[in-house]
Amino acid sequence: MKIMTTGLLGIALLLLGVSAGSADANTNRRFPGQNCQPDYGAYSTVDLHSDGYTSKSSSSKLAWCPITGYRTNTVDYDAAYFYVYDAISDGEVSCQMFVKTLTGTSYAGVSETSGLSNTGRITMIFTGSELPNNGAAVYSVVGNSFYCTVPGDSPANPGAYSNLRGYVTNTVYN
């Protein structure tokens, strides 16, 4: 698990930046799992309900989870979090963040997984080099989203389904 800490030097620099009026404002955007949509024609095997996106199938399904609502066409992510419920002991949920620019350039983050042996509520944390463009600002953005693979049920877990419960982005506005 990754833990973010701030030392005394970091606090002093933050206070100096605020007093000088030059600090960037960070914004957390929260999205429910219901925002995730099936991708690649998976509509007939997906259940969108109060627990979020669920693959009601014997095979894994790909979900597209849009990130919306930014006031500029520049994104500069500090962190992102994806909350899942993994009910499959022999399958795993995996998610990856993408940003696409007006010129067609795509930036992909690192894929995170819930882990094969992990079940229950899991938080996947994306920071630094795990984010698109290694967490540096991306300009002229026309779309950004997560793509996640959700396992279906399996012989080891008949009738058990994993789901995407929600996601959060932490963005610096320049």
Domain boundaries, the chain: 25-173
Intra-chain end-to-end CA distance of the chain, in Å: 29
- pLDDT for residue 172: 79
Nearest to 161 by CA among 46, 14, 27: 46
DSSP 104: S
**Across the strands, what pairs with 122?**
84
Which is nearest to 89 in space by CA: 67, 109, 119? 119
pTM: 0.74
Q: Beta partners for 121? A: 85
Mean pLDDT by 10 residues, the chain (174 residues): 32 31 67 81 44 66 85 87 83 90 93 82 91 92 90 70 85 68
pLDDT in tens, 64-98: 899 887 777 888 999 999 998 887 777 788 999 99
Please give the single-letter amino acid code of residue 150: V
Measuring CA to CA, which residue among 116, 122, 127 is closest to residue 163?
122
Q: Let me know: does 74 contact 141? Beta carbons within 8 Å.
A: yes
CATH class, 25-173 region: mainly beta
